[in-house]
Structure 1
């Protein structure tokens, strides 16, 4: 192949970008040139440009796939149409040998354009049931990779493969010492990390901060609280370190961490599983999502990897009780995770993608 360019797409949330971030250097090791199609204002723009500034990033027009009434629902189809035209022009110019899509609303016009241009489209679905964007894109896909074996009943089996989870290699290379330096912890308390997703969660943030005096008697706290959610009154606290969001630092912070409280996005929970971090999962409710995180969390709980606290039940008292139970059953959770199937590496995933290139 003279031209060995692969286009990656996906965005809207960090979860729709992280796998792409992981496989970019591995695809390059395999001899491919990588370019990215994302939205103009989505989080993928910032994450890809910051992580890989040398990669050509194509920003296209994109609508949002809403499950609620909004006047923008009437105008967004025109944005998607514009995005389809833009993506098609990019693909015809770049002439990629494959398109790899991680999902999110920006990926739909890219998958459609790929099919129109005769380029193999490969989709990755990391949740138990496909998201709305992937549901729309699957008819245009040549192959679908899934993380959960249960997902195979929701996708065309004849063009789908369950690969299991994929873990970024740098995540395994983190340093607890570097994490401690980032947080300036100087005692021997265990470390509790709280992650509310890239946008944060006011409900989880409030539960943590209302219990902070009690929690810090037992833990050092790493709190990833989301953009704009730093509490300046707590800056400088010796046992509480808050970040809006972290990227490269996450591997170090996770290696320092003993226990995790998190949403239940697939990428994150499989990373905790790979690092054997006992987790309390607080999935997004059905009122705020399509319920995919609830399915993810329940499957992990059934396998003994996690405890689950439903969002509707979260308050200062229930949160503290769930933490106490997590501490009490820490060893049982670690043992169950030790017996789990090991994840694939980003290099293995890149090879699977490359196998479907034309």
Structure 2
């Protein structure tokens, strides 16, 4: 019998790739021939290629979907159109039974090409409100899965299901001792992990570095600062370890952490929740985004999983004050997190997607 095939798409940020990373091993285990369509220069090419060299990767043209005026708004539709034709040729060659889209700008031409080819599309929305790419993709899709129950009110009832979070299984196999050893830390002093998303955050980096002398009196600090954002002058500071970006080491570093400071991308915060890590969330401001991280963060705060510090209120003083509040609420937060529903496994998610195959 001919091997069945699936195409995955999604990219632009690590958040638009992480679920795909989680389900690829399950799809391979089920005997599927897995292919990936991403952007020509996106982070997804590195993430998928490094973790799954056996999965063919196709880079296509894609345009950014902007909610504001830009001259590129006049040229990017042609890039999207070129991407549609490239994706159409790939789909005709690969002949998948279904396409799964995690969103991001690159997914739009793929979803459109799938509709032209008569291939069913399943999309996934991980924020409280649908992103622009998924809003465009929705009419071309067979079904959409969400993480938040609240998202369902923004979607057609007949084609939307809330699955809850899906967590990469390798995160649960992280080793605290290995994480501490990778940083040269000891088990006697608590560890604060600070990260600003896959691309890093200048404002979070600055807030942390302004407070380093005081924070190092209490914590050992792991700093995921983003590519090109390391400060070599701090490399020799005892108790401080900076990484521009990590992939395979992340599970160990997360297990080593006692507290986490982060942006509020939904994939990341659900991973912290699954590992019962008290978190201080500093969401992207409404001026820098559509406000999805603000909604994510405030919902987590309301449910007792996180402290929130709005970016507009972020200063040297508010940063350290919020961390002290986080530490004081550790026991309460962990107890609340322990009562949450067990995340779906990647195997369960893969089977949900495959029920829509052609």
Task: Provide the TM-score with structure 1 as the length reference.
Answer: 0.99
Residues in 1 aligned to 2:107 and 2:3: alpha-carbon distance in whole angstroms: 23
Contact 1:6 1:97 in 2 (8 A): yes
Shift, 1:282, TM fit = 0.3
Shift, 1:347, TM fit = 1.3
Cα distance per residue 1:297-337 (max 9 Å; x no partner): 01100000001000000010000000000011111111111
Residues in 2 aligned to 1:18 and 1:187: alpha-carbon distance in whole angstroms: 29
Is 1:320 paired with 2:317? no
- Match for residue 271 of structure 1? 271
Task: State how many pairs are aligned.
Answer: 358
- Match for residue 222 of structure 1? 222
- Match for residue 354 of structure 1? 354
Cα distance per residue 1:216-268 (max 9 Å; x no partner): 00100000111100000001222000011111111000000000000000000
- Match for residue 18 of structure 2? 18
* 1:222-261 map, 5 Å: 222-261=222-261
- Match for residue 290 of structure 2? 290
Residues in 2 aligned to 1:89 and 1:212: alpha-carbon distance in whole angstroms: 52
Shift, 1:2, TM fit = 2.2
- Match for residue 106 of structure 2? 106
Q: Which runs of 5+ in 2 are unaligned?
A: none
- Match for residue 124 of structure 2? 124
Cα distance, 1:187–1:93 mapped onto 2, change above 3 Å: closer
Is 1:308 paired with 2:308? yes
Is 1:35 paired with 2:30? no
Shift, 1:127, TM fit = 0.4
* 3-state SS of paired residue (2:312): helix
Contact 2:3 2:31 in 1 (8 A): no
Q: Which runs of 5+ in 1 are unaligned?
A: none
Residues in 1 aligned to 2:67 and 2:219: alpha-carbon distance in whole angstroms: 39
Residues in 2 aligned to 1:25 and 1:354: alpha-carbon distance in whole angstroms: 14
Shift, 1:69, TM fit = 2.5
Is 1:52 paired with 2:45? no
Residues in 1 aligned to 2:70 and 2:219: alpha-carbon distance in whole angstroms: 43
Residues in 2 aligned to 1:262 and 1:274: alpha-carbon distance in whole angstroms: 15
- Match for residue 66 of structure 1? 66
Residues in 1 aligned to 2:222 and 2:132: alpha-carbon distance in whole angstroms: 33
Cα distance per residue 1:261-287 (max 9 Å; x no partner): 000000000000000000000000100
* 3-state SS of paired residue (1:236): coil
Residues in 1 aligned to 2:238 and 2:177: alpha-carbon distance in whole angstroms: 17
* 1:85-104 map, 5 Å: 85-104=85-104
Residues in 2 aligned to 1:66 and 1:40: alpha-carbon distance in whole angstroms: 19
Q: Runs (4+) of structure 1 moved beyond 6 Å?
A: none
Contact 1:184 1:238 in 2 (8 A): no
Task: Provide the TM-score with structure 2 as the length reference.
Answer: 0.99
Residues in 1 aligned to 2:139 and 2:90: alpha-carbon distance in whole angstroms: 21
Residues in 1 aligned to 2:250 and 2:67: alpha-carbon distance in whole angstroms: 32
Shift, 1:135, TM fit = 0.4
Residues in 2 aligned to 1:300 and 1:341: alpha-carbon distance in whole angstroms: 14
Residues in 2 aligned to 1:56 and 1:265: alpha-carbon distance in whole angstroms: 27
Residues in 1 aligned to 2:240 and 2:129: alpha-carbon distance in whole angstroms: 36
Shift, 1:27, TM fit = 0.4
- Match for residue 181 of structure 2? 181
- Match for residue 135 of structure 1? 135
Is 1:195 paired with 2:195? yes
* 3-state SS of paired residue (2:54): coil
Contact 2:180 2:187 in 1 (8 A): no
Residues in 1 aligned to 2:347 and 2:251: alpha-carbon distance in whole angstroms: 18
Contact 2:172 2:251 in 1 (8 A): yes
Cα distance per residue 1:50-105 (max 9 Å; x no partner): 11112110111111112232221111000000000010111011100000000000
Residues in 2 aligned to 1:259 and 1:242: alpha-carbon distance in whole angstroms: 16
Shift, 1:160, TM fit = 1.0
